[in-house]
Each structure stands twice: as structure tokens, then as C-alpha cells.
Structure 1
């Protein structure tokens, strides 16, 4: 903005961020001698490209008003500013990932640290007390990290001498709270002539990334409950890493045992009866809570695929190593990975239509373009970023990431189905054609 030329608003171009331009416009609004109702018109006429398109969506009589500037900036905020929570998350993630790279001087590193720190302070985020965190850090890890960052010589010796002879500890009151909660449950059950079965009570500790396994125990009614690597809940075996490898192994063993017993009575069954029996006992077992396996590696669900192929061979009474693609197509069975995708997308459809639990509805968000487009009626969802503190391998298993990604890949007629039965029918047809394409002639 040229000095003394306060009638011309500052230009908005790609060289500056929207926030910087907005601050300049607000300053310009304080020093310009234009009438209050003319300011929004002047700013709108100075815009270009996407900003101009957004401004033109506002009627001229609204811009030519004392509140015109507020209306215009509010409109542009909806286009160029991300949601407050997303901006806070980005600021925290940027600060959390700060590291001194090779070739970066300490002065430049401190400047970058202050810039990122000031950015999170702008959102009124408070960091934990550094002194308290220092008291709980492993001293050997701290010294190794400092040495890896380039701290050496007398500086490293100073830290080492300070830490020599000092101890550290981490206390956790969660065990006390859990014990108190279980005590209240046990008391309530006793009052209602029930008894808490402590022999079947399991404690599963889910450590965070890089968190050591804590030696926890809970005492309730003179019984000590210690953590286990796996715990069973509603028929699903959970492990402390949430890899579901233990659950896959358990399902595989159960299905193999069922197939073994069915094979023994197959000579007395018709093909149709064998198919119904296997679908009811084996395939339904494979499908139970299979949406939990969304995003797991293909190697992890390989045992389940082998069970499904063995079930298809048993229906048609085929040898052990016979090819099964034609059998699965004839039975109209989707492969295991497609069945997982089917169940996840059904949950996504219910979330979009508002019939799923509220916590699932909060994980998906309909895509609404900034301006009227044909894609507004296509039923797409907002795709979440795969980047995050959990890393790609962890975040890519989230329902909030996978469901929109798979949903947006569906044809429009599937996404816009009028009811759940129609959606399920169209979805299975789409996945079936995708998994078993028609042979080219």
C-alpha cells in the first residue's frame, strides 16, 4: 500500500497469506477517509480470482452498507480460513515436530522455535511446565538426545554432572481411580444381590507411541488384577497394540474347527444345505465386527482369506489346492477385504443419513464447496489428511480417514441411494464387479 494513498485498499495476491492481508485491510479501514459504507465496495473491486468470485456472491446492497466490511470479511473467512480447530491442530503439530536439522545453526533454530511457539500462543494454548517434564525424563535418553543434537564438550559435561546422582520417577494415579471405580461397581452389584466376577476381570493397558509398558496392578476386594496383553470384549479379542492379530488368530482357529466338523458330515448333506450351514456358522463369524480390521495390512488378514477359500472349496467339495475365484464368484461371496470395506461403508452411510450413533456422525462431514458447483449434489465427504502425530500407518486406520476416502471413490448413484437396502444392494454390486471383473472377449 503506497504511503499517503489511503483510498486504495491493499491488494490481495499470492505473495502474502490471507491473514496478513486481512490485518492490512483492517489497518487500512482505520486510516482511510472513505465513507464507512464505501469501504467494502472498494475492497471487493480490488480483489482478483477466487476472492473476487466469492465477493461477487454478495449482493451490492449488502456491501454498500455500514456493515459491508464485516459481511465481506466473514465471507472471505469461510473461503480462505480453515476451521479454528484445524488451525490450532496444525499450529501444535508444527511446533511438536520441530527439530534441528543438519546444517542449521543454533541461532536459526531458536528463531524458528520462537516463531512456532508464538503461533501456538496466539491460539492461547499452554504448554506443560518444562521443569516438571524435566524431572520425569529418563536421564540417559536425555543425554543421548542432546549428544545427537550436536551438544558436546563442556556443555554436555555440564548436563551430565548435573544429572549424576539424581533420580527420576513417574507417578500415575490412574490405577487408584480405576480401583475406586471398580469398588463402586462392586458395591452397587452387592446392593442389588449381584457379584463382580474378579476372576474374569481383565486390565488392558494401551501405551502411547514410544511409551514403555507400565507395571500396573489394581487391588479390589483383596484381589490383585494385573495387566494382560489381550482382553476379550463382546466377542472381540483386543491386544495392547490394537493390531487385532490376536483376534484374527482366534477367529481363524474357530472357523477352522467349524470347517473340520462340517466336513465330517458333508457326505450326508446336499450342496445347498452345506452352503447354508457354512454361511451361517463360518462366514458370519468372519464378518463379525470386521470393520475393526479396516486399514490393517493385507498380510494380517491373509489367514481369514484362507479360511474363506477353504469354505468355498468345502461347499463344492473340491481339493485343497484348487483355484477358488470361480467358486467365490458363483457363491456371490465378496473377498474378506471387500467385506471389511462393505461394512465400513454401510456405517458411513448410516452416519451420513443420521441413523448411526452420534460419535460416528461426528467423524464424517459432507463436502460443501465454497461456491455453487455440480459436485455439491454428488454426496461426497470431506477427506481428512493422512498426516498427523500418529504417522501415516496409524492415522490411515481411522474411520474418519478411511470412510470418506472409500466413500468418495464410490459411483454417484451408490452414494446417493435413497435408502439403506438400496445402498447395500448397489454397494455389493459395485464391489462384486470390482473384485470379479468380467473377462474381456
Structure 2
């Protein structure tokens, strides 16, 4: 830290010890900086993302719910005022969609049950915007709104990130390597992005970067050769159609 001229406020500094759910952390583990013991915590807020020691993302899901549930109440009151659905949809994107999609490719690798909690709230908001019956079919809701369910949005945001890397639109410390760069012989997967073999628990298999590359490699090859704007438009339509067809 001295070399980088970094100064830590040790009174506010805490550390997380990441581990699997059943792993028992020793209470004797001590981390020190300048001979001062650093407090260990089970969760921490970092750049708007709640990190937990067991990587369950429970705190992050609860945080998002606390942000978007009040907005659903606002939409419920506003729909009786005669406002144009377009205005209500703009409110949705500003106050609900933005909170759901923030770093979703990271925390979105949580359990399906946790994503379902957000989808229930998302559907409630969309039904209010378009004045749909409470028991309206789920697929009709998303088709009318032209919006992806939370679980599908995870996939979409993940492949968007990888495509940006593939087009060198953003920088990353993790290089994008094609299979053709690993071996010289031609195969059906030569143009796919190389993924490292993971010899670990589900945390490694579900790591956001590994999961994103896997999703990207599953896309039809015609998408991966598109410009960013074309890719974004076409892949969203593809994911939505697959969801409506029951294949997403």
C-alpha cells in the first residue's frame, strides 16, 4: 500500500472471508494491518453491491426489493390518475429496471428462488402499468411490455458484457481467448471463447465470468459477429422469444 500511496482508515476497514455455506470459519483467524487487528464481517456494501461471506446474495436481493417495492405502490396510485402507460413505463425503467439490472450479471448467479422473488414484484409492476388483470398469464405480461423477466435479464446482461469485451469496447484484466488460439485444428467450436476448466464447488462453476462465457458460446454464431447495437437488439428479441416459447 505504501508503494501505491494508499491510506486506509483502519477504524472503518473490515474484511470478508469467503467460504461455502457449511464451512466453519475459525474464530482465531486474525488479519492485521500496521499491527492493528481488522474486524471480520459477514457482509459488506461495495460499490452498491452487497457482498456476503457465503456468497448467497441474500442481502443484495433484499436490498433491491426494498428499493423497488415502494415504487410498485406509487404505480398502483398513479394508474388511477389517467397517466399514459408510456409515462408509467418510464417510471418503471428509471426506478425499478435500473435497480434490478445494476450488476445483475454478478449477483444474478444466485438461486432461482431468489430471482423469482424479484420477478413477482416485476410482474406486479408491469400489470399495473398496462392495467392487466391480477391473474393475467405471465408470458402475456412480458410480451406486452417487451421486457425480459429477471431470470432472463441475467443471461442478457451477461452476454452483453462478454460481447463488449469481444469487441474491445471495455477493458478487463481477464483476456478473451478463442479456442482457435489454443489449438490449430479446425472444429465447430474454434470460434467460441475458451473457458477454463473449473475443479471446484458450485461457486466456481457459477462464477459470473464463467457463466457469462458459457451463455455467450451458446448463442447462434450470427449474433457474435454483429456490431454492439445490432447484437443488443437482436439478442434481446431472441431471448424474449425463447422465453415465450418455453426454451429460455
Shorter chain as denominator, the TM-score bin is: 0.7 to 0.9
1:249 paired with 2:62, answer: yes
Tell me how far apart the structure 2 counterparts of residues 328 and 420 of structure 1 sit (CA, whole Å): 24
Please name the residue that 2:14 is paired with.
203
Instruction: State the match for 2:179 in structure 1.
Output: 367
Q: Distance in 1 between matches of 2:160 and 2:86?
A: 28
Q: Is the 8 A contact 2:223 2:234 kept in 1?
A: yes
Which residue, 385, 401, 404 being the options, matches 2:197? 385
1:416 aligned to 2:225? yes
How many residues align structurally?
A: 239
The answer on 1:346 being equivalent to 2:160 is yes
2:17 and 2:40 in contact (8 A); partners too: no
1:354 Cα shift? 2.5
CA RMSD, Structure 1 to Structure 2 (Å): 3.1
Which blocks of at least 5 consecutive residues in structure 1 are unaligned? 1-176, 187-195
Distance 1:302 1:204 in 2: 30
**What is the CA–CA distance in structure 1 between the aligned matches of 2:73 and 2:28, rounded to whole Å?**
41
TM-score (norm 2): 0.82
More contact order relative to length (CA 8 Å, sep ≥ 6): 2
**What is the aligned counterpart of 2:233 among 416, 425, 430?**
425
2:7 corresponds to which of 175, 179, 185: 185
* Counterpart for residue 212 of structure 1: 25
1:264-413 → structure 2 map (5 Å cutoff): 264-268=77-81, 269-360=83-174, 362=175, 364-368=176-180, 369-372=183-186, 376=190, 379-386=191-198, 388=199, 390-391=200-201, 393-413=202-222
Q: Tell me, in whole angstroms, the C-alpha distance in 1 between the residues paired with 2:188 and 2:134.
A: 52
Q: Does the C-alpha gap of structure 1 residues 402 and 219 become closer, same or farther in structure 2, counting only changes over 3 Å?
A: closer
Asked if 2 retains the 8 angstrom alpha-carbon contact of 1:338 and 1:431, the reply is yes
Contact 2:49/2:60, CA 8 A, preserved across alignment: yes
SS in 1 for 2:192: coil
What is the CA distance between 1:434 and its match in structure 2? 0.8
Larger Rg: 1
Structure 1 residue 211, shift from structure 2 partner = 4.9
Deviations 1:22-50 (A, max 9, x none): xxxxxxxxxxxxxxxxxxxxxxxxxxxxx
Alpha-carbon distance between aligned partners in 2 of 1:426 and 1:345, rounded to the nearest angstrom: 12
Q: 1:294 to 1:310 in 2, by over 3 A?
A: same
The 8 Å contact of residues 294 and 397 in structure 1, kept in 2 or not, is answered as no
Match of 2:45, SS? strand
Name stretches of at least 5 consecutive residues in structure 2 with no aligned partner.
none
- The separation in 2 between residues aligned to 1:266 and 1:218, in whole angstroms, is 54
- CA pair 410-206 structure 1, distance change in 2 beyond 3 A: same
Shift of 1:224: 8.1
Partners of 1:409 and 1:184 in 2: how far apart?
A: 42
8 Å CA contact 2:42, 2:53 repeated in 1 = yes
After TM superposition, give the deviation of residue 225 of structure 1 in Å: 6.1
Greater helix percent: which structure?
A: 1
In structure 2, relative to structure 1, the CA distance for the partners of 1:374 and 1:249 (3 Å cut) is closer
- Measured in 2, the distance between the counterparts of 1:409 and 1:374 equals 12
Change (3 A) 1:208 1:197: closer
- Deviation string 1:344-385 (CA, Å, 9 cap, x unpaired) is 11111122223332323x2x4212153245754xx3122433
Q: Is the 8 A contact 1:236 1:247 kept in 2?
A: yes
